Amino acid sequence: MNATTRISRRTLLGAGGVAAAALAGCSSPGGGGGGSKSMTFLNDSDIKDDPFGKAVEAFQQSSGISVEVQPVPSDYDTKFRTVLSGGKPPDLIKINDDYVRGMSGTGALLDLKPLIERDKLDTSHFPEELYNFPVQADGRHTAWVIAHSPRLFYYNVDLFKEAGVDLPPTEWSADGWTWDDFLATAKALTVPGQRFGALVYLDTGYEQTWAINNGSPTGIFAADGKSFTLPEPAAAEALQWATDLTCNEKVQPAWGDLQSTNADLQLFTQGKLAMFYSQFSTLPYLLQNVKDFTFDVAPPPAGPKDQRTESSVVTYAIPAKAANPDAAWELLKFLTSEEGGTFFVEGNMWLSMDDRPLAKLAEPPAHVNLFVEAVEHSTLPNQTQNTLGARQIYRPLLDEVYNCNAKAADVLAGAKARVDESLAQQG
């Protein structure tokens, strides 16, 4: 899941508490660095001048801890694995949420549970499912979710009105908003040669969402993370349904026309796409680039069995070999405090883990609060030891499906043995 461009509940230490804890120099398990006044931070992008950067700056000012950000804007997955396996890793690293279990199995990530218990953190303002996402089967809490980015449909209100089509629901409801209703709406909004009614399959979060909503018990992977369940009938049928929006219904752009950077965003802002499925973190782009129409958001349509959506969770970890784990832990606590989370919310970057800043979400879009409500309708793919390896196998094969040259059930069934084998390996 990619939460950097397109990704709910607890009271933590405030800025004064962060500073006090840092000055007290509490020691932590898994490394030295008690009372350290500096730390290093590996990230997949430069955070200078964005809401994240402003939050880190506020932390530095309140705590007196200096943070050296080391941005890696390309090939980050390779870089973070390399530095994590080295003798002197950074004190804090961004880790793709899909890789938490695999990297936890290597012993490379510090268990945060003793720190959570030591500091007696009040977790009542965090969404329980997202907070527990990094918790491993043996109880270790090996990463920290600092924010999340739910997915909804963005839609062009003016095009709906122009076509005389009813607007999507303004609450999480299946009333008038089933898959059949969605298809009928997409058809009414499509004008051949001018615009497409909908786009579903570009955002990879649709795999889990559509599979679950069509009745798949586990979505992409089994609950124990040891088998690939996307080939099962309900899941494969869901992917085929989304693909048929292009291949049969002609209401969705062709796969080949979507491979350039931000192709979906450009189509939408140009009025050539009426609805598309994407994360909360897409909002800043639209606020800046939508000039001549009104846009809003709506829940995904209800499938035959459910109406859920996937949130990308923004996760960070402290390496077990970190030199300054205490300083890194203080930063993590600040980012998920009410004060720290406010930077993310007011900057429309992500939703905060602490639910109190969410009251500061502002229009537009008119129904932005649907992102907050999405937390109660969320689904997350089950973790595996080697999600990266699995996706490197099956996702390229799905191109044949998306290009209308094969059926999802056949391609996924053909990939299952290889994917299952990869899941047995340590990613």
What distance lies between CA 231 and its chain's CA centroid? 23
Paired residues of 18 in beta bridges: none
- Amino acid identity of residue 84, one-letter, is L
pLDDT in tens, 255-270: 999 999 999 999 999 9
What distance in Å separates the CA atoms of residue 89 and residue 323, rounded to the nearest whole number? 8
What distance in Å separates the CA atoms of residue 91 and residue 208, rounded to the nearest whole number? 32
Are the C-beta atoms of 144 and 316 separated by less than 8 Å?
yes
What distance in Å separates the CA atoms of residue 149 and residue 134, rounded to the nearest whole number? 16
Positive or negative CA dihedral for 204, 219, 76, 65?
A: positive
Residue 369: predicted pLDDT: 97
What distance in Å separates the CA atoms of residue 162 and residue 42, rounded to the nearest whole number? 48
| Residue 11 backbone phi and psi in degrees, to 5 | -95, 120
Residue 31: predicted pLDDT: 39
Q: Give the other-Cβ count within 10 Å of 327's Cβ.
A: 27
Are the C-beta atoms of 414 and 251 separated by less than 8 Å?
no
Residue 24: predicted pLDDT: 33
Q: Give the other-Cβ count within 10 Å of 287's Cβ.
A: 12
Of 361, 377, 408, nearest to 129 by C-alpha is 377
pLDDT in tens, 311-349: 999 999 999 999 999 999 999 999 999 999 999 999 999
CA separation, residue 248 to residues 120, 192, 254, 255, 290 (Å)? 56, 14, 11, 13, 30
pLDDT in tens, 168-216: 999 999 999 999 999 999 999 999 999 999 999 999 999 999 999 999 9
Reply yes or no on whether the pLDDT at 18 is more than 60.
no
- Three-state helix/strand/coil letters over the chain: CCCCCCCCCCECCCHHHHHHHHHHCCCCCCCCCCCCCEEEEEECCCCCCCHHHHHHHHHHHHHCCEEEEEECCCCHHHHHHHHHHCCCCCCEEECCHHHHHHHHCCCCECCCHHHHHHCCCECCCCCHHHHCCCECCCCCECCEEEEEEEEEEEEEHHHHHHHCCCCCCCCCCCCCCEHHHHHHHHHHHCECCCEECCECCCCCCHHHHHHHHCCCCCCCECCCCCCECCCCHHHHHHHHHHHHHHHCCCCCCCHHHHCCCCHHHHHHHCCCECEEEEEHHHHHHHHHHCCCCCEEEECCCECCCCCCEEEEEEEEECECCCCCHHHHHHHHHHHCCHHHHHHHHHCCCCEECCCHHHHHCCCCCCCCCHHHHHHHHEECCCCCCCHHHHHHHHHHHCHHHHCCCCCHHHHHHHHHHHHHHHHCCCC
Residue 101: predicted pLDDT: 93
Q: What is the pTM for the complete model shown?
A: 0.89
Paired residues of 9 in beta bridges: none
Tokens describing residue 292: 């001549």
CA separation, residue 151 to residues 204, 293, 346, 371, 403 (Å)? 11, 21, 18, 7, 24
Residue 16: predicted pLDDT: 34
Pairing of strands 38-43, 66-71: parallel
Residue 318: predicted pLDDT: 98
Reply yes or no on whether the pLDDT at 371 is more than 60.
yes
Residue 174: predicted pLDDT: 96
Are the C-beta atoms of 99 and 80 separated by less than 8 Å?
no
Q: How confident is the model at residue 15 (pLDDT cuts 50, 70, 90)?
A: very low
Reply yes or no on whether the pLDDT at 7 is more than 90.
no
Are the C-beta atoms of 402 and 244 separated by less than 8 Å?
no
Reply yes or no on whether the pLDDT at 28 is more than 50.
no
| Residue 127 backbone phi and psi in degrees, to 5 | -70, 125
Q: How confident is the model at residue 235 (pLDDT cuts 50, 70, 90)?
A: very high
Tokens describing residue 408: 């999802």
pLDDT in tens, 105-125: 999 999 999 999 999 999 899
Are the C-beta atoms of 136 and 262 separated by less than 8 Å?
no
Mean pLDDT of the chain: 91
Mean predicted confidence (pLDDT) in 277-282: 97
What distance in Å separates the CA atoms of residue 348 and residue 404, rounded to the nearest whole number? 36
Residue 34: predicted pLDDT: 52
Reply yes or no on whether the pLDDT at 30 is more than 50.
no
Q: How confident is the model at residue 246 (pLDDT cuts 50, 70, 90)?
A: very high
Mean predicted confidence (pLDDT) in 144-172: 97
Residue 117, C-beta contacts closer than 8 angstroms, at least 6 positions apart: none
Residue 87: predicted pLDDT: 84
